[in-house]
Structure 1
Amino acid sequence: MVAFDQNSGEKDDDARELPETLPWDVRPSIYDHLCLHIVSGQPGLVEAGYQLPDEERVNEDLELRWAAGALDGVMTHHTGGSDSDERVEKTIWLLLTCCEEPTAINKYRLYQHIVEEHIVALIDAVITRLLNEPQLKHDRLYELAYSFATETTDRETVKFGIALLGLYQVEENSELFHILGRHDEFTLFCAVALTNVADDSEQALWGLAQNVFGWGRIHIVERLAETENEEIRDWLLREGFRNSVLTEYLAYICAHTGGLLPALHNSTQDRELLTSAGELIEALINGGPAEDMDDYDDGAAAVELYLQQIEEAHVTLDDFLHIRAIQLYLSNQEADWDVRSERGWSRECRQRLEAACKRILERPEWETRVRQGLESEDDYEFFQANQAARVLKLPTWDYHWDRLQEQPDDAGRWFHLLLVCEEPQLTQVLDFAEQQLDLDRIASGPGDAPGVGDDFKQHGCLDYILQELRRFPGQGKTLIEAGLKSPVIRNRKMAVAALATWGDTSQRCELLKQVVEIEPDGHLQQQMQKLIDGQPLEE
């Protein structure tokens, strides 16, 4: 292969354009970084591995950060590809120039261009063009791709390198793709590359899928939707649908390809299967970004078998909530049951299923199980018990109050407490809030702070308090006043919304006149002025 010449063909102005240290000479590269955070025998990466070397640059001007792979995931699932032929043409021109004259300056110009792009939007068009370039110097393209994939510290150039390497059926690169693909930011590109280069692409994809848990898993499982491998299908059914983004993305694929209905037919008290079946059924009922229960031909039959088996099983609070989701689905009077009946949801079937749900949910044991969960120190167990308590209409105030005392900086605990707070407890809650929150620090002056991170924990707590103060007109003046002067616009919006419910317009005007002139957000300033003028706010 031809090495990239640092000097050949460069003019003086080209040399001045080059940085003192070229980006592919910076260490550690992303590839090196990931290698350092893989532990043999453990899935994925150790925690520090998910923080990529270019994190600060990528997120420098963002108020909210994208999760790993999320931007590419949204672009591939919810938007089209690139609509800019000009961007594709520029990429091709820089790439061909780099292959024709492999100088440092040409490589650097291509590098800078790639860093500024979202490669996922361009790569298909770029590769299509490359495949139709008869004079393409493949040895130089391969060398460039390998360098970008293994030697660079910017995620977009790594993705570009992976995509180009995937054009070449070099089996030895499979290990490289398995390493880079452990990070959700790169899994999509590695999955496509593995499909092209691995001897057994399904096994390769399955192996990688077990090492990613976010958008990466979504991308891979979607590519396993047609598998006939029984081992992979069983994994899809029992584990493959679980991801940190949204189960609903994969529920249909895993229920359909995994064979949920035949699995339930052939099982007897398979606790693991019943757990996954409940999760899949609830996700299909929820619907959302992918196919749902209305697309699943086996839905009614699968739900009936599930309920038959769960009636005989040792049930959990998770089961309770899955069955409650089924019950709500069946009782939805606005659904088009005539259309659904074509998939087995007949009136008689629904009546049988509703009766089964009722029998299970009305068991006397649930109250004790829920109270045990509410006393748990495990956040997940408490959350599930809290959800079940709402269904059973059990009082939970004391549990939420005790938990808030333990962690008064936890915004989530304020949220749950305020949801169950009524007039008799309000004074107690507001007094505690004024004691625990540094209101002077919160009221540092209106601005455009994002309100995320450790510095804004208390602002998050105040958010939920102000949100619920709309139910209690005239209450919480001190907290509302702090919210109006917060640098976080959510606090200020919630404070204004709370004031909109006040009947005492004189007190409301007094508070708003202190801040209306310094409010930096034009729309919110208009809302403040409307309230001062005695006008109602739009819903």
Structure 2
Amino acid sequence: MSFNADFKREMRNVVKDVEKEINKTWKVDYKGHSIEIINQIKEEQLIIDGMTVDRKQRKSVLSHMIPYSKLSGILELHDGTKHKVSVKLGGYVRFRCIVKVDHETVLDDSMKIEFLPWDHKEKIVLFIQQQIQTHHKIVADRLPDEEFLFDENEPRLAPGLSDYYVDERPAPFYVKKLLKLFEKQLNHPTNETRKKTYEKIISNNMASRRSELIERFQHEQWDESLVQQEALWLLEHAAHREVVKFAVTILGCTNCEKHKELLFTIGMHEEFTSYVVCALKNGTIQGNEQVWRLAKSVDGWGKISAVEQLEASTPEIKRWLLTKGCENTIMNEYLAYTCALSGDLEAALSEDEISKELYDGACLIIQALLEDEVSIHSIEEYPNASSVLCHFIHHAHKHCQAIEEFYPILKINEFLNDDQEIWEDRLNDSWTQDDHKAIQKAVQPFIDDSRWPKLAIDTLQQDFSSQALKIALFYRLDVIEILFALLEKDPANSEIYFAVMDTNHHQHIRELCTFAETHLSLSNLSDDEVACLQYIVQDLYEHEGVGLPLIQAALRSDDGNLQYHALSVLNEWSPLYSQQAATRELIEHISIKTDDKEDRKLAKHLLKK
């Protein structure tokens, strides 16, 4: 995000804090009559007996530089006598509300204006606790501080992902200063010292400073009970996620056995799982068991961090790693290598007989290791690959019955049939020529089995399956009519759009664009429809003039990636299309309104063509 955008967001947050701090209502009962004063950031009101009798409006926050505001009105008593009500509101350090009826003061109230960063905001740990108590899991993963961190249309990262984007910019004195402030908080726990620590925490991110924080903390000789007291205070009051991360990290540097259930609950939200894993391992007695328990309770980036830190110390953990450890909602490829090694997949598959559960787990792991385009660690890095694949094919004779069980065998076949030059590089201590030929021979009967192409078509006719589609394409089956029939039933299934576009067949693509133009809500795209449009637009470069209404819809959308691809496609096409009145108007709008420099540059270039 640009400096200007950051500054605007920070100013917006400051205004919100000021607004929440000074919004207040006072009520006075005077001889059976109601006097109510409402103070808001841009307005003050005097209400007598339910009727607004005076109001002062401010044009901006800066108008609060005027220290006091005055309101007045007339109060008529039951005996018919009239009395003047006057109100004086304001102040810099203390905010006062003075109400007089004639010359009698009936209210004189004041409050200190502190602007504590945790005040008037939803508390994060309580937000998590309430979800766990009600649902036994996290059902709403957007944290309460998101409105302060992101702009309205800014895309959110999946919980826990931001910690993988570590800030590499040096901050040589940040941790040292933070711990000095925390020490003052320990010795004198007041709003003032806590505020300074809190503000220092949220000025940076814990992901990039965690290792240094732990290392420096371990050299301090602080009273552990005081450390825990203030860490727990921060957890109770934290309205910003970085404060939760700091407090969990500090708590984990102490003996936190009695707080492990609180930590576990916080770790159920995947934004904090990796911090809780570290705390449980370092600060509790059976930390690894708690990490395993947590790994079984999360399924995204939290599970990835938990499994990576989990020690396969028992046969039960090893089996879980092989049967359940790899699968997650992000990508199985992130954990396949870890689970294969830590769970000892080679030893498990070397048995004469294995359970269906273990076979299914091995399917996921092997398939993920073979997805070479996205795998973090591929099959080539796995030291026991030839032995594992050989054992796996042996067990497939008993367990391979369905499409999803055959798919890993298809991937093995593709791997074995890579170019000869690639295999010359692979042949080493773990792969011999004899291994290669033996596994090829073992796989071939599965490939030759005529039931798989038929089952692939039958599966696709029922519902879309990416695995069934790949199997059908492997056997060179024509599935285009089936794909369009599936689209009729599910017009916003982005995977089907991708499959049709992947054919790179001009007529199929033209028909797909016509379908999308009549079945997608081009004037108000849903998230699913944006994904569909993305797959179409990004591959229209070589199909000049096809899908112009879709290009225009992409230009109108709020999705920056979609806009960029639409502009890029128009840049490859003849100027005839970008100079059409409707298209040109959309390009002009982007050239003026977008914050993205590349989009703005591309839009201006198109306008000059």
* Normalised-by-shorter TM-score class: 0.7 to 0.9
Q: Indicate the residue corresponding to 2:480 in structure 1.
A: 397
Residues 1:465 and 2:536 are matched in the alignment:
yes
C-alpha contact (below 8 Å) 2:249/2:279 kept by paired residues: yes
Residue among 93, 114, 118 paired with 1:18? 114
> Which stretch of structure 1 is more off in the superposition, 420-429 or 96-105?
420-429
* Structure 1 residues 265 and 172, CA gap change in structure 2 (3 angstroms): same
In structure 1, distance between residues paired with 2:445 and 2:304:
36
Residues 1:495 and 2:563 are matched in the alignment:
no
Residues 1:353 and 2:439 are matched in the alignment:
yes
* Structure 1 residues 516 and 148, CA gap change in structure 2 (3 angstroms): closer
Q: Secondary structure at the match of 2:454?
A: helix
Residue 266 (structure 1) shift: 1.5
Q: Indicate the residue corresponding to 2:205 in structure 1.
A: 118
Q: Indicate the residue corresponding to 2:341 in structure 1.
A: 256
Q: Indicate the residue corresponding to 2:406 in structure 1.
A: 320
Q: Secondary structure at the match of 2:380?
A: helix
Q: Indicate the residue corresponding to 2:174 in structure 1.
A: 87
* Structure 1 residues 126 and 326, CA gap change in structure 2 (3 angstroms): same
Residues 1:65 and 2:156 are matched in the alignment:
yes
Q: Indicate the residue corresponding to 1:30 in structure 2.
A: 124
Residue among 440, 462, 466 paired with 1:376? 462
Residue among 214, 236, 246 paired with 1:160? 246
Mapping 1:254-333, distance limit 5 Å: 254-286=339-371, 290-333=376-419
In structure 2, distance between residues paired with 1:140 and 1:273:
48
* Structure 1 residues 22 and 57, CA gap change in structure 2 (3 angstroms): closer
Q: Indicate the residue corresponding to 2:327 in structure 1.
A: 242
In structure 2, distance between residues paired with 1:482 and 1:306:
48
Residue 39 (structure 1) shift: 6.0
Residue 100 (structure 1) shift: 2.5
Q: Indicate the residue corresponding to 1:475 in structure 2.
A: 546
Q: Match for 2:470: what amino acid? A: Q
Residue 459 (structure 1) shift: 4.4
In structure 2, distance between residues paired with 1:121 and 1:301:
40
Residue 424 (structure 1) shift: 4.4
1:328-348 Cα shifts (integer Å, max 9, x gaps): 222222765455333331122
In structure 2, distance between residues paired with 1:38 and 1:414:
38
Q: Indicate the residue corresponding to 2:64 in structure 1.
A: none
In structure 2, distance between residues paired with 1:187 and 1:513:
48
In structure 2, distance between residues paired with 1:241 and 1:59:
32
Q: Indicate the residue corresponding to 1:128 in structure 2.
A: 215
Q: Match for 2:251: what amino acid? A: L
Residue 267 (structure 1) shift: 4.4
Q: Match for 2:281: what amino acid? A: T
Q: Match for 1:47: what amino acid? A: V
Q: Secondary structure at the match of 2:272?
A: helix
In structure 1, distance between residues paired with 2:152 and 2:173:
26
In structure 2, distance between residues paired with 1:423 and 1:248:
33
Any stretches of 5+ residues in structure 2 without a counterpart?
1-91, 95-110
* Structure 1 residues 433 and 147, CA gap change in structure 2 (3 angstroms): same
Q: Indicate the residue corresponding to 1:53 in structure 2.
A: 144
Residue among 316, 322, 328 paired with 1:231? 316
1:263-314 Cα shifts (integer Å, max 9, x gaps): 1111415222222112212222335674432332211011011012213334
* Structure 1 residues 183 and 523, CA gap change in structure 2 (3 angstroms): closer
* Structure 1 residues 201 and 407, CA gap change in structure 2 (3 angstroms): same
Q: Indicate the residue corresponding to 2:234 in structure 1.
A: 148
Q: Indicate the residue corresponding to 1:173 in structure 2.
A: 259
C-alpha contact (below 8 Å) 2:555/2:587 kept by paired residues: no
C-alpha contact (below 8 Å) 1:209/1:216 kept by paired residues: yes
In structure 1, distance between residues paired with 2:138 and 2:606:
52
Q: Match for 2:198: what amino acid? A: Y
* Structure 1 residues 468 and 313, CA gap change in structure 2 (3 angstroms): same
Q: Match for 1:331: what amino acid? A: N
In structure 1, distance between residues paired with 2:588 and 2:259:
62
Q: Considering only CA atoms, is the larger Rg found in Structure 1 or Structure 2?
A: 2
1:317-371 Cα shifts (integer Å, max 9, x gaps): 2222212221222222276545533333112211222233332122111122112
* Structure 1 residues 526 and 115, CA gap change in structure 2 (3 angstroms): closer
C-alpha contact (below 8 Å) 2:124/2:144 kept by paired residues: yes
Q: Match for 1:104: what amino acid? A: N
Q: Indicate the residue corresponding to 2:32 in structure 1.
A: none
In structure 2, distance between residues paired with 1:334 and 1:310:
26
Residue 528 (structure 1) shift: 6.3
User: More relative contact order in 1 or in 2 (CA 8 Å, sep 6+)?
Assistant: 1
Residues 1:104 and 2:191 are matched in the alignment:
yes
Residue 211 (structure 1) shift: 0.7
* Structure 1 residues 335 and 206, CA gap change in structure 2 (3 angstroms): farther
Q: Indicate the residue corresponding to 1:387 in structure 2.
A: 470
Q: Match for 1:474: what amino acid? A: G
* Structure 1 residues 26 and 510, CA gap change in structure 2 (3 angstroms): closer
C-alpha contact (below 8 Å) 1:38/1:45 kept by paired residues: yes
* Structure 1 residues 263 and 494, CA gap change in structure 2 (3 angstroms): same
In structure 2, distance between residues paired with 1:421 and 1:338:
32
Q: Which has the higher strand share?
A: 2
Q: Match for 1:241: what amino acid? A: C
In structure 1, distance between residues paired with 2:603 and 2:236:
55
* Structure 1 residues 370 and 152, CA gap change in structure 2 (3 angstroms): same
TM-score (norm 2): 0.73
In structure 1, distance between residues paired with 2:170 and 2:117:
31
In structure 1, distance between residues paired with 2:126 and 2:554:
46
Residue 246 (structure 1) shift: 2.7
Q: Secondary structure at the match of 1:393?
A: coil
Q: Indicate the residue corresponding to 1:433 in structure 2.
A: 516
* Structure 1 residues 34 and 459, CA gap change in structure 2 (3 angstroms): closer
Mapping 1:435-454, distance limit 5 Å: 435-439=518-522, 441=523
C-alpha contact (below 8 Å) 2:403/2:467 kept by paired residues: yes
Residue 68 (structure 1) shift: 0.7
* Structure 1 residues 34 and 411, CA gap change in structure 2 (3 angstroms): same
* Structure 1 residues 74 and 230, CA gap change in structure 2 (3 angstroms): farther
* Structure 1 residues 396 and 245, CA gap change in structure 2 (3 angstroms): same
Q: Which has the higher helix share?
A: 1
> How much identity, in percent, do the aligned residues show?
24
Q: Match for 1:54: what amino acid? A: D
In structure 2, distance between residues paired with 1:305 and 1:421:
38
Residue 527 (structure 1) shift: 5.1
Residue 205 (structure 1) shift: 1.4
> Which stretch of structure 1 is more off in the superposition, 325-334 or 488-497?
488-497
Moved over 6 A (4+): 528-534
C-alpha contact (below 8 Å) 1:119/1:160 kept by paired residues: yes
Residue 22 (structure 1) shift: 6.3
Q: Indicate the residue corresponding to 1:537 in structure 2.
A: none
